[in-house]
Structure 1
Amino acid sequence: MSGTLNKVMLIGHLGDEVKMHYFEGGGSIGRFPIATNETYTNKSTGERVTNTDWHNIVVRNKAAEICEKYLSKGDKVYVEGRLKNRQWQGEDGNTRYSTEVHVTDFTFLTTKKDAGANDNSSVSITPKASNDNSKPVKAPAPLSQEAEDDLPF
Structure 2
Amino acid sequence: MNKVILMGRLTRDPSISYTQANSAQESTCVARYALAVDRRFNRDGERKADFISCVAFGRQAEFAEKYLRKGTKIAITGRIQTGSYTNRDGQKVYTTDVVVEEQEFAESKASGQTAQQNPASASEDGFMEIPDGLEEELPFS
TM-score, structure 2 normalization? 0.70
Work out whether residues 76 and 109 of structure 1, in 8 Å CA contact, stay in contact via their aligned partners in 2: yes
> Greater strand percent: which structure?
1
Partner Cα distance (1:80, 1:110) in 2: 16
Query: Which position in structure 1 is the counterpart of 2:31?
Result: 30
Match of 1:87 among 71, 84, 88: 84
Q: Secondary structure at the match of 1:149?
A: coil
Match of 1:6 among 2, 19, 26: 2
Q: Distance in 2 between matches of 1:78 and 1:87?
A: 27
For 2:2 and 2:41, how far apart are their aligned partners in 1? 28
Structure 1 gaps of 5+ residues are 119-144
- Counting only pairs closer than 5 Å after superposition, residues 66-105 of structure 1 correspond to structure 2 as 66-105=63-102
* TM superposition shift of 1:110: 3.4
TM-superposed deviation, 1:116: 7.9
Off by >6 Å, runs of 4+ in structure 1: none
Query: Partner of 2:110 in structure 1?
Result: 115
Paired residue total: 113
1:82–1:115 CA distance, 2 compared to 1 (3 A): same
Quick check: 1:40–1:49 contact (8 Å CA) kept in 2?
Answer: no
Q: What letter corresponds to residue 99 of structure 1 in structure 2?
A: T
Change (3 A) 1:8 1:117: closer
Contact 2:7-2:74 at 8 Å conserved across structures: yes
Q: Tell me how large the CA RMSD over aligned residues is.
A: 2.4
Contact 2:42-2:48 within 8 A present in 1 as well: no
Q: TM-score, normalised by structure 1?
A: 0.65
1:27 offset after TM fit, Å? 0.9
Deviations 1:1-27 (A, max 9, x none): xxxx00000000001111111123221
Give CA-to-partner distance per residue, 1:61-100, whole Å, 9 cap, x none. Answer: 1210111111101110000000000101112211111110
In 1, Cα distance between the equivalents of 2:112 and 2:50? 30
What is the percent sequence identity of the aligned residues? 27
Distance 1:9 1:41 in 2: 20
